[in-house]
């Protein structure tokens, strides 16, 4: 398992946080995600054999948020 922190812009409320968590939680290979509105970041623990950092960033972007 790997853990990475992804900076996210465009989140404005707890609904946004919930949306990002839902998207990440639905991905195969993602074991855990902690999304923070205050720091505009997501800490994601994932299995690199099942998904990649690029796929995680793409999922966040597809949900309507920007990844720094």
Residue extents of the structural domains in the chain:
2-67
**What pLDDT band is residue 68 in, cutting at 50, 70 and 90?**
confident
- For the domain 2-67, what is the CATH code? 3.30.70.100
pLDDT band of residue 54 (cuts 50, 70, 90) is very high
User: What per-residue confidence (pLDDT) applies to 39?
Assistant: 96
Q: What is the pLDDT of residues 5-50, one digit of tens each?
A: 999 999 999 999 999 999 999 999 999 999 999 999 999 999 999 9
Amino acid 46: pLDDT: 97
- The confidence score (pLDDT) of residue 18 equals 96
Q: Note the maximum CA span of the chain.
A: 33
SS (H, E, C) 5-39: EEEEECCCCHHHHHHHHHHHHCCCCEEEEEEECCC
């Amino acid at each position: 398992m790997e853990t990475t922190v992804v900076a996210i812009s465009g989140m404005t409320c707890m609904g946004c946080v919930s949306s990002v968590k839902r998207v990440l939680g639905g991905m195969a290979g993602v074991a855990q995600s902690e999304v923070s509105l205050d720091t505009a970041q997501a800490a994601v623990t994932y299995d690199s054999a099942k998904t990649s950092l690029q796929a995680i960033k793409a999922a966040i972007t597809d949900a309507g948020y920007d990844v720094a």
